[in-house]
Chains A and B, each alone.
Chain A
Amino acid sequence: MAVVAAGALALAGCTSDTSTPDDTTTAGQGETGGTDNETATDDGESTEGAGEETSTAKVDLGDVVTNDDTISFSTGSEQYNAYNGDTSATNSTYNATVNAQVNSGFWYWGTDGTVYPNEWFGTYEKTSDDPLTVEYTISDEAVWSDGTPITANDYLLSWASTNPEVLGGADALGFDPVSDMSTYVQDTPEAEVDGKTFTLTYADPNPDWEIMVSGALPAHVAAEQSGLEPGELAQAILDGDTETVAKVSEFWNTGWVFNDYQIEDDSIVPSSGPYTLEGAVWEKDLSLGLVPNEEFWGTPPATGNLVFKFAAPETHVQALQNGDINVIEPQATVDTVDQIKNMGDTVALQTGNEMTWEHLDFNFAEGSVFSEDEGGLAAREAFAMCVPRQQIVQNLIQPINPEAEVMNLREVFPFQTEKYNEVLSAAYDGRYDEVDIEGAKAKLEEAGVETPVDVRIGYSAPNQRRTDEVTTIKSSCDEAGFNIIDAGDPTFFESGGPLEVGDWEVALFAWAGSGQIASGRPIYSTDGTQNFGGYSNDEVDEAWKTLSTSLDPEVQLEQTKIIEKLLWDTLYGIPVFAHPGVVGYDASIENVRHTAVQTGVSWNAEQWVRAQ
């Protein structure tokens, strides 16, 4: 006992007196202090149901006063490194995610891929169909955060940076762009230096004209950094003065790239979005914290500090639980969904569809059982009849996204409900909804091929989900007289790999939708660059041609119906499902919404706000 007493005596003087526990609690809350919650209650409620029956556009938050709270988000461990994400070296999701917050434009993607105009930024209007002419007007209030108005100058540089032939092309100009806008808009845009309007004239009709132009980079910065007057550059572009324009390309290619992960001169990165990089807190390897753009003329951001953390995806779930990252978009697996569900009330979960879809494509090349010379259509039909699509979705996808369904179209996603239902009723009668083993046997007999038929399903391994899909298909189709072979291969897509060589009867992979109307053409038309199976159908080619040269949404819709129906009737391949997506977030944050579009959950990050 004496020892205990001595110990207690020694310990008596051993507590520091810096604070009382009470102080600490209030201090903790103090971090989130700030503003009244001015979110309109109706909108607040409507977002609760996460995507059900709500508009796919951003909600109207009314008047927003920026608070001084902090919300963090992570896309992965790759670091932001370029303010100009339009060069071939810097075009990446992690740059795009950040740049979307500091660079706004004429429109944005809704959660289902619908294009919504940003009316506060400006307006655009198609003024002629032949030739396709679009007139853009930038809002008079629109200014860069350094005070310079956003003008046609900026869009002239955007156009010039795609190396247009009228300015001498890539060799003379030296820009390194990912955009190929100047192959569509071949003539110099009509504009005036420092003007607020500009007009683009397309060489050919382009159904995707609406998404060709959105934001632009600050031309005045590029000009000044290259030793030109701001107006001089715009004038040179209008005049076709190749030599002067070419002076800018070096800065455009490299000046906005931050390979040391710090911005030495804030003045070269003005913002046209709700947040800005000027005064941002960039801790190399750790995080990038954006701050509000004080000059922003649109609805201000709801939260004062938007922090992008550079953390590997496998750390995200625990980081969310511990509050280190507040919004995550983890890999959509059953494990992550369960983990997030088990975290209790402080963490919320949203699941939904992505604009990426899984499909089984037939090989039409010589030697394949599905080519016209061998099994032909009957063999393809037999395969389509035995593939248990419903079972695949039920077992592999619904545990992640309970609302997932079998996808029956290729160019429209199930979550684009109205259009999907309309095209579906015209194109597909549900004939492959149920597995029909007997029917498949009969079709194989009709095809006149010797059973069992070896079918190699090729995909890029390792991919557990695809391995499971092949196993499911095997257990069903083997009964119908196929012999399914799992031909998963790490080199599947590589040059010289199985896909190119043709060592497959069925290819299992996914296309990431781009939101463009005519981007499917190279996949389904004869000799298309992405038509790996060698499918060829004159009617389909014709329909794609009509579609991609039409500017009338009605005509586009009609052609889509024709294409989808033909692809089902002749069986190009079988769509299976849209990939599931998962968003986990701190339950106290409002307005976090999963989007199917590849912009990711941060598409409306400027609206995220912690409930008070």
Chain B
Amino acid sequence: MLQFILRRIGISALVLLLGSALMFFATINAGDPLFDLRESRATNRDQLIAARIELMHLDMPWWQRYLTWLAGAGKCLVLQCDLGTSRDGANINSLLLSSAGASLRLVSLSVALAIVIGILLGVLSAIRQYSGFDYSITFLAFLFFSLPVFWAAVLLKEFGAYRFNNWIADPVLSTTAMAVIALIFALVVAAVLGGGLKREAITFVVTFAVVFGAVTVFDRVQWWRQPALGLPIIVLGGLAALAFFLVLTVGLSERRILYSGLGTVAAGVVAYFVTAPLVENPSGWGTILLLALVAAAVGAAIGWFFGGFEKKIAMFVCSGTALAFAFLVFMDQLLRNWGSFLQVAARPISTIGDARIPYAKLDGNFYIFIYNWGVQLILPTIVLTLISIAGYSRYTRSSMLETINQDYIRTARSKGLSDRVVYSKHALRNALIPITTIVAFDFANLLGGAVVTETVFGWKGLGDMFKTGLDFVDPGPVMAYYVVAGTAAVFMNMIADIAYAFLDPRIRR
């Protein structure tokens, strides 16, 4: 194994080095770094040109410029990077730090979302193979996969920012709009739950009625400007989470675990009132994290004491339910502050930048600060997520289908296991092995490939740095981008290979 890892590292380093030379050569030949000065009629034009030649070492041959850069970048190995300066004299080290930070924030969330949603959709469409749901997901996956990012982002800004801001100023939904929303929900839920035609029809009608009713009430009570969940919905959500965890593990028939789960929800209701002052105005993320930990611990404790002979599963179910409940309480509080945020920012969503209002000028509680960066994360995250969801759902679907058709699944079925157990315990886990490769790939891909998204939404991330560098034919920023994106790609690839070897013993030979 060690030899395998070392060989991988050696190859990766070589790939990076060759790639950097290629990248450098391509960048400095991408245009004329003096372009803007050539048409200038300033009296000191020649001096300006000379100064830039000096600053960017344009008088050196390309290999000498490259070696100069490599000498500085090589120091990264001893953690003393010197990536040089950009055309306007900015220190690229510090430029890179902030850019990589912005990109990571943007990409982490969308990767996480894409994985969860993508895998979920993939599994569902594999289980409901050749159903209307499956076809719809396939259609949408291809649609999103082939979406031109630039166009989608601009459209999203038009609807998600400009029109949403107009609407939120005086939010009223027409009856038609409500009906359409309810219709979409009803179609989706009916398709996902499946069953016979009659069952689907009933699901459809019920969902339509519930959603239509809910939206009407929301509209009446001005929910769009002053939203909240309220205890009843939090409790409902907690119960749904409990059901989810039970289905994933032992099913509803295991009474002891079901009751300890219900007890967790009851404890949550008590905690809701006890911790209210803390949650309403927390001092920072520390408090929130601490509360989450307490919730998980309480859930685990309930599972331990009431779980009977299946303590481990009971602890998992109860702490999962407790965390979900805590999350809902947090969301409730976040929603309650939406109105205050609207007072600070009358048009809540801005089309550019990673914060709505400069932090130095922002005045408000913990939740207002979350909104300040949160609202700016929504639109770019949607774009990035939509694109990678497509891939994940397709890969998961085929991987799941392949697993379902294996002999051992047939064996599992024939010995009388329920669908739930077969899918969640036997099929899903094995089907997820190939997905690890894609996750690793995708993360590196997104980190480097968010150029367009970042540009359109005015984020100063790695992509923006790359683009600016390329526009100015300035190799410094482009190479800094390469150092991060290239390393991430090669490193993630390596991690995937190693993880694969760990997960699937058949590979390790």
Contacts and interface: CB of A to CB of B under 8 A. Distances in A.
Nearest to B345: A28
A38 interface: no
B274 interface: no
Interface string B201-237: 0000010011011100110011101111111110010
Given A15-B222, A259-B94, A285-B98, A90 B458 contact: no
B466 interface: no
Contact of B43 (A9, A260, A514): A514
Contact of A15 (B44, B221, B456): B221
B125 to A, nearest CB: 28
Contacts of B89: 81-82, 89-90, 257, 259
B251 interface: no
Contact of B337 (A15, A18, A283, A514): A18
B343 interface: yes
Given A11-B233, A14-B229, A19 B456 contact: no
Contact of A27 (B88, B162, B343, B360): B343
Contacts of B346: 24, 27-28, 31
A178 B154 contact: no
B38 A322 contact: no
Main secondary structure, interface of B, reads helix
Interface string B18-59: 000000000000011011001111111111100110010000
Interface range, B side: 35 or more
Interface string A2-22: 011001111111111111010
A491 interface: yes
Contacts of B342: 19, 24
Contacts of B61: none
A283 B358 contact: yes
Contacts of B8: none
Interface stretch (B308-316, B347-355, B408-416): B347-355
B343 A23 contact: yes
A324 interface: yes
Interface in B369-383: none
B339 interface: yes
B464 interface: yes
A13 B55 CA distance: 65
Interface string B145-175: 0000000001001100110010000100000
A7 B210 contact: yes
Contact of B228 (A14, A176, A512): A14
Interface string A61-73: 0000000000000
A311 interface: yes
Contact of B55 (A89, A510, A520): A89
B457 A315 contact: yes
A9 B46 CA distance: 77
A123 interface: no
A231 B347 CA distance: 52
Interface string A291-328: 00000000000000000011110110011011111000
A494 B349 CA distance: 43
B116 to A, nearest CB: 26
B394 interface: no
A18 to B, nearest CB: 4
Contacts of A17: 226
A260 B339 contact: no
Nearest to A13: B230
A546 interface: no
Given A3-B210, A24-B225, A89-B55, A14 B233 contact: yes
Contacts of A510: 39
A341 interface: no
B148 to A, nearest CB: 14
B339 to A, nearest CB: 4
Contacts of B230: 10-15
B359 interface: yes
Contact of A289 (B45, B340, B361): B361
Nearest to B51: A88
A12 B349 CA distance: 28
Contact of B39 (A8, A318, A322, A511): A511
Contacts of A78: 88, 468
Contact of B44 (A4, A13, A179, A289): A179
B338 interface: yes
A281 B360 contact: yes
Given A259-B91, A309-B352, A493-B38, A18 B213 contact: no
Nearest to B232: A10
B361 A281 contact: yes
A311 B352 contact: yes
A314 B154 CA distance: 10
B397 interface: no
Contact of B358 (A9, A289, A315, A491): A289
A355 to B, nearest CB: 10
Contacts of A90: 88-89
A24 B343 contact: yes
B51 A19 contact: no
Interface in A513-570: 513-514, 516, 519-520, 523, 529-530
B355 A286 contact: yes
B393 interface: no
B32 to A, nearest CB: 4
A28 B47 CA distance: 51
Contacts of B48: 88, 91, 178
A325 B353 CA distance: 11
Interface in A79-120: 79, 81-82, 88-92
Contact of B353 (A3, A19, A309): A309
A21 B351 contact: no
Contacts of B401: none
Nearest to B353: A286
B55 A516 contact: no
B334 to A, nearest CB: 10
Output the residue of A82, A88, A92, A530 with the most chain B CB within 10 A: A88
Contacts of A176: 51
Contacts of B210: 3-4, 7
Given A89-B51, A512-B41, A13 B206 contact: no
Given A10-B236, A322-B165, A21 B355 contact: no
Given A81-B90, A512-B40, A514-B41, A24 B351 contact: no
Given A9-B232, A90-B89, A178-B44, A322 B457 contact: no
Contacts of B464: 77, 312
Output the residue of B47, B89, B162, B347 with the most chain A CB within 10 A: B89
Contacts of B44: 178-180
B94 A318 contact: no
Contacts of A77: 458, 460, 464, 468
21 contacts: A8-B214, A10-B230, A10-B232, A12-B232, A14-B232, A15-B223, A21-B170, A27-B343, A179-B44, A180-B43, A208-B43, A259-B94, A283-B358, A283-B360, A286-B354, A314-B455, A315-B455, A323-B165, A323-B347, A324-B352, A516-B43
Interface of B: 31-32, 34-35, 38-48, 51-52, 55, 85, 88-91, 94, 98, 102, 154, 157-158, 161-162, 165, 170, 206, 209-210, 212-214, 217-218, 221-223, 225-233, 236, 335-340, 342-343, 346-347, 349-355, 358-361, 455-460, 464, 468
Given A14-B232, A31-B346, A493-B32, 17 more contacts: A3-B209, A11-B214, A13-B232, A15-B230, A18-B339, A21-B225, A24-B343, A28-B346, A88-B47, A90-B89, A285-B460, A315-B457, A322-B347, A460-B35, A493-B38, A512-B39, A512-B40
Interface of A: 1, 3-4, 7-19, 21, 23-24, 27-28, 31, 77-79, 81-82, 88-92, 176, 178-180, 208, 257, 259-260, 281, 283-287, 289, 309-312, 314-315, 318-319, 321-325, 460, 490-491, 493-494, 497, 509-514, 516, 519-520, 523, 529-530
By Cβ-Cβ distance, the 3 closest A-B pairs, closest first, are A88-B51, A14-B230, A285-B460
